[in-house]
Structure formats: structure tokens, C-alpha cells
Homo-oligomer: A and B are copies of this chain.
């Protein structure tokens, strides 16, 4: 499964000794064995973007890439020219083994910001991964394991299209915010698709998946989503169907990130309907999803709609027109706020399911948007007070 579900890809994940956890796989390699090598990427908009992001942006700029090296155990962010040199050296090592140019090899890193990588270990890891490359399910799963940090489970996806396949893997658990999450994601397909169509499909899918989850409001320096197409199926897909499948892959992986949000005990869906535009619905949903107070209340199984509307009320009129006296809020199907006033009693709300649905109707239009987030728990604080990331 994972990235090797699509034909024309091989992968590996090995223990290189970069991670502070003994025996943890920490270097992954994904290789596009062709016959084609179209590629697209979406990267963090953080101005302190990491060295591997700077490097990989250059790699996919021409719409092509042959391989990706990914490491956990170090983000190689805020490391200056020496850090960029490390990303370049990493790409060069795999390029040598594959007999291609280094500017065809993307690099992704995740871990602590502000420290250089142990380059010798990374390069040895690249060699070891190259030696173990395989197209079987286990090889793809090894790669998905190697990119995990605080993730509790590997996150993968496989989608069967009309004569072609998509596979994918993602890591991400904390430092997850709209405009990408702290995440590394590689999606592969054996469909025959041009670079331009890949890029368009990926950007549209990311905008409605990874850009609509928020674990903790923190944007990373290293976020990267890559889509590689081998063309090995020989099938030129219907473009709408293909775009739908890329969106489904991103949506599944994004949902898995929320499901594994650091320390979380509830996955929370904030759906805003009745807005005058999708953009205004999205602004409202994000404002509610960002409320620490609400997220603590949900952890305490308290359907505290006051914290929903007080967050909604911070959205400026210029960004979302609505009248507070018209707004309704349903929590897990119970209308606890009706026209800006108390509705049914909050004791009627069953907060025991892991999924909590908060449905807000602005009653001004027909547009809607959904954002997923997590609750804020004691474990989230534990993890992030103790873990240097």
C-alpha cells in the first residue's frame, strides 16, 4: 500500500540513526521508475521555510522529479547556507545512485528546528534505503513509518481509479494549521497526466483538504506535498475523475492527521452553512476552530456553545456578513443556540463519540465550508512541553 500501490514506484524506509528514538526508521526514499516523471508540489508559505523546502521548490519548478528523500529526526530549518548545502548533498547522493541529475531529486525533512542534520547518517541512510528499494506493500509501509515523528500511526491512502491507481503517505500530528500543516506528504499515481494538470489537481485538492485542518494553529517551516506521476498504467484518465481522486486522497490523509492530532480525544468538524460566500463561511469556521477555550471544553465533554458564538463574534463584518440574532448552532445534532439565544438544553447533547459535529447556520446565504480540528487536552500540553520539535 502507501506510495507503492501505484505502478512504477519503489520505496524504502530504514533506520539511519538520526531520530533520538533508538531503532526508529528515519530515512525514506521514494523513486519514480517511470516511464514518465511528471511532478507537482505545494509548499509551506512560512517565510522561515526550511532548507529542504527551498531545495525541493527548485526541483519541481519544471514539472518533473524522479525521486524524493525524506527524513525525520531533524527539520534542517533555520540552518542557513550550510543547511541548504545538506539538502543538496542529500539529493546528490541519491541522484548518483540512480544515475540522474541532483535537480531531479526532492528532499523533505521534519523534526527539531534550528539544528543541522548529522549529514553522514543521512547519506548512509540514503545508501541503505537505495539498497532496499522495493515495489511491494511492505516497502511502501516502511517509508510511511520512516517519516513519522509524534504520529501514533502511519497514515496512508490507496485509491483505485478508472484503469489507474493513486497511493500516498503523510506524516503530521502537531504544528498543524490552515495554509498547510506541519506535514510531509507524497502521493503517487501511475496515470498519464501532464505536469500542468498535476499541478492544478494538486493545488485544488490541497486547498480543500490540508488547508482546512487545524490542530493547533501553528504553521510549520517544512510543509511539503508532492504528487508524482509515473504513467506506468498507460492510462490517460478523464481529468475531472482524476482531480476528484487526487482530492479524495488528500482528503483522506488530512482527515487521518486530525484523527491523530497530538494528544487529541475528539475530532471536531466545524461546518458553517448559510453564508453569503464560501470564503466567508471558511473565515467563520476557522475562527471557531482556533478557540483554545472551545477546544478545552470539548475535551471536558462540555457542549459549550457560548465559546462557539464568542469565537464567531470575533469575525469582522467586512469578512462575513451575518446578524447574531439569526445564528443557530447545533452540537451533535442538538440545537443548543437558536437565533443567538439559548435553544435546547446542553444536557441533551451526547459528547461521548470521538467525532463532535458543530454546525453553524448564519442564515444569510447558501454557501458553506468545513474545517476539522481537535480538542485541546492535557496530553497535548504534555507532548509539547516535553518534546523538542
| Residues of chain A whose beta carbon lies under 8 Å from any beta carbon of chain B | 45-49, 75, 77-80, 112-115, 174-175, 177, 179, 216-221, 290-293, 296-297, 299-300, 302, 304-307, 309-315, 317, 324-325, 336-337, 339-342, 376-378, 380-386, 388-389
Contact = CB atoms under 8 A, between A and B. Distances in A.
A115 B179 CA distance: 36
Nearest to A46: B313
Nearest to A290: B217
Contacts of A299: 381, 385
Contacts of A290: 217
Contacts of A325: 80
Given A49-B313, A75-B306, A342-B78, A337 B381 contact: no
A388 B305 CA distance: 11
Contacts of A383: 296
Contact of A341 (B79, B218, B300): B79
A55 to B, nearest CB: 16
Nearest to A299: B385
Nearest to A82: B341
A32 B224 CA distance: 61
A219 B292 CA distance: 11
Given A47-B324, A48-B340, A297 B385 contact: yes
A300 to B, nearest CB: 3
Contacts of A219: 310-311, 313-314
B342 A79 contact: yes
A164 B224 CA distance: 61
Nearest to A322: B47
Given A310-B113, A381-B381, A292 B78 contact: no
B306 A77 contact: yes
29 contacts: A45-B314, A47-B315, A48-B309, A49-B313, A75-B306, A77-B306, A78-B340, A80-B325, A80-B339, A80-B340, A80-B341, A112-B306, A113-B306, A113-B307, A114-B341, A216-B293, A217-B292, A218-B310, A218-B311, A219-B311, A221-B306, A292-B292, A293-B384, A293-B389, A296-B385, A297-B384, A300-B384, A300-B386, A302-B388
A114 B296 contact: no
Given A46-B310, A47-B324, A297-B385, A218 B113 contact: no
A50 to B, nearest CB: 10
A336 B114 CA distance: 9
Contacts of A386: 300
Nearest to A383: B296
Closest 3 pairs between A and B when the two form their complex, measured CB to CB: A113-B306, A300-B385, A296-B384
